[in-house]
Amino acid sequence: MAGEAEKPRFVVEPLGSKHDRAAFSCGVEILDAYLHKQAGQDLKKRVAVPFVITPDGTTIAGYYTLSQCSVQLDEIPAEVAKKLPKYPIVPATLLGRLAVSVAFRGQGHGATLLMDALYRTLQHSREAASASVIVDAKDAAALPFYTKYGFLELPRIERRLFLPMGTVEHLFR
Ligand SMILES: CC(C)(COP(=O)(O)OP(=O)(O)OC[C@H]1O[C@@H](n2cnc3c(N)ncnc32)[C@H](O)[C@@H]1OP(=O)(O)O)[C@@H](O)C(=O)NCCC(=O)NCCS
């Protein structure tokens, strides 16, 4: 409508040199420091791939990281494990970190980042298998953010949650 300011279109894309990492602040020191100091190195060394959500190609409103990992079959709840082959370890994808800048909180960007991560994980699992998505909630307060999307707690590891890839597939059907 004429006179109305155009809303920015947020895009999720891999972290690159054009993004202003230094300005990012989510209020959690360890998550800020990771983006400021470590994320570029992890990308370069192929340890993790950081993705950012940006309204303008420069500002980072939020980010997450993805890596490959594995879980021991005996860490998975029995009702899920019984549906898997009896290998001692099973492949998984680690959603290592997820944070939204204080300036962009409460606008749905956390949910968008999580859905983007799950969608990418599902796509990649069709070529390099992954049986579930794993997250480590940074503290007890962060747990509900994941459980509300169906993540289940791994009984033997505190604050580690997982989402079977079959559940992810259902989400995007
Ligand atoms: C958790 C975090 C990523 C949420 O980002 P956000 O952009 O404000 O979240 P959204 O606006 O997308 O909210 C999505 C939903 O999650 C809910 N939510 C947001 N933060 C939550 C939290 N800490 N616990 C439970 N639910 C939460 C919202 O109420 C919303 O629910 P609704 O869809 O029913 O309204 C953000 O607060 C953050 O970066 N916190 C610091 C780092 C952190 O805790 N990271 C996650 C764990 S490692």
CATH of the domain at 149: 3.40.630.30
For 156-170, what is the mean pLDDT? 94
Whether the per-residue pLDDT at 6 is higher than 90: the answer is no
The dihedral formed by the CA atoms of 144, 150, 155 and 158, expressed in degrees to the nearest 10: -30
pTM of the model: 0.95
User: From the CB of residue 6, how many other CB atoms can be counted at a distance below 10 Å?
Assistant: 5
* pLDDT tens-place string over residues 89-141: 999 999 999 999 999 999 999 999 999 999 999 999 999 999 999 999 988 99
pLDDT, residue 4, reads: 64
Beta-bridge mates of residue 73: none
Cβ of residue 77 lying under 6 Å from some atom of ligand 1? no
* H-assigned helices in 3-63: 29-33, 39-44
Whether the per-residue pLDDT at 166 is higher than 60: the answer is yes
Q: Tell whether 33 is covered by a domain.
A: yes
Q: What is the count of structural domains for the chain? A: 1
* H-assigned helices in 57-161: 78-81, 109-125, 143-147
Q: How far apart are CA 17 and CA 58, in angstroms?
A: 9
For 23-36, what is the mean pLDDT? 97
Which domain covers residue 53, as residue numbers?
11-171
Q: Tell whether 1 is covered by a domain.
A: no
* pLDDT tens-place string over residues 135-162: 999 889 999 999 999 999 998 889 999 9
Cβ of residue 103 lying under 6 Å from some atom of ligand 1? no
Q: Tell whether 25 is covered by a domain.
A: yes
For 15-41, what is the mean pLDDT? 97
Cβ of residue 117 lying under 6 Å from some atom of ligand 1? no
Dist. CA 146 → ligand 1 center (Å): 9
Cβ of residue 98 lying under 6 Å from some atom of ligand 1? yes
Q: How far apart are CA 161 and CA 157, in angstroms?
A: 8
* pLDDT tens-place string over residues 49-96: 999 999 999 999 999 999 999 999 999 988 888 888 999 999 999 999
